[in-house]
Amino acid sequence: MTVSDNREADWLSRGASTSLQGLRVLDLTRILAGPYLTMLLGDLGADVIKVEGPTGDDTRHWGPPFVDGEATYFWSANRNKRSLVLDLKSDDGRAKLAELARTADVIVENFRPGVAARLGTSYEDARQLNPRIIYCSISAFGEAEAAKNLAGYDLLVQAYGGLMSITGTEGSGPVKAGVALVDVLAGLHGCVGILAALQHRHSTGQGQRIKVSLLQALLASLANQATAYLGTGRSPGLMGNQHPSIVPYQTFSTADGQIAIACGNDRHFESLCESLDRQDLAGDERYSTNTARVDNRSTLLPTLEESTKKIATQELQEMLTKSGVPAGPVNDIAGAFESARQLGLDPIRRIEREGKTIPQVASPIEMSETPVRYDYAPPAFPQDHA
């Protein structure tokens, strides 16, 4: 694979067909957090060169499901990239990587702490080759000595970071999120950092290093639950689908399934009670304000569910929506895509690659002047290893 030097490309020009046109990203990451980050940059127009080891990204082998021998997990975070195989333990592989680093604007890596330095691919190494480089390191727990031997899997970070302690019920015990959510959050934070660093470089000519840890990304994303602890000194506990500060704000059983109801204010609650023909609840001083409802949830919630269980999900949703009460069905993933389609969204893209059609989840970003692209399907594993 031959890569030309376009470091001076005016990727910020107004006339660019994509936001990051001309930006070159060297992707040294694997699994999800780093690949998701670099895919976002690729979606926005960057030229992303994914460097894989001789056996490929780990997620090429994570399945089932496989489709025509390819892991769908790999598809989730690797579109809009070119793939190159290099053995970074060899002198030849490191020399070729150095050549690429000279032409890159951004390098993203998620090696374990200390590995990049051993391989000669650290920020200091890259800066010697390219002083304008923006270098983003993603780790699980940071780079301190105490973190060096901890494996960076999302499940472990959910456990360490407290997310599991507020997900689940007393009956189930702590439960992980159904997707590697912390990886995605870390990728998003890393992407924001890179875009900020690019703006800084545009103004000053200076590159810089960015560090994002999965644990810090999770703690920041705990939002109100984290500040509840910081403000009171008490750790929130397991509440299932309930909300610690808003009632009712959870799922309820219906005659044929489950529905989510989110009463964000007292007016919503009054409309809910009217729709269920339970105006008596709205007039009860135990439930007349949100604070009172939080204090008395143990008696209110079973009473509400007695009513919701008598009505089918779709009928109840239509009834509540008409009354201005936020409500929606608890979909499976197939239902979620169908709901998005029915709501006028376009949630699926299909990209061709060598006669194969690979489905992709559409980017949630819509831009009027420089739209997200879907130019390249997730690459097949290269047959000609460099």
- Which residues participate in catalysis according to the annotation? 183
Q: Do the beta carbons of residue 39 and residue 74 sit within 8 Å?
A: no
Detail the DSSP E strand segments found in 1-52: 24-28, 47-52
Where are the alpha helices (H) located in the chain, listed in sequence order? 33-43, 72-75, 91-103, 115-119, 123-129, 154-160, 181-204, 214-221, 223-232, 266-275, 279-282, 290-295, 297-308, 313-322, 333-342
Contact by Cβ (8 Å): 270, 282 = yes
CA dist 174 and 168 (Å) reads 5
Residue 91: CB atoms within 10 A of its CB come to 9
Give me the residues paired with residue 134 across strands. 106, 208
Contact in structure between 35 and 27 (CB atoms under 8 Å) = yes
Q: Please count the residues of the chain.
A: 386
Contact 263, 249 (CB under 8 A): yes
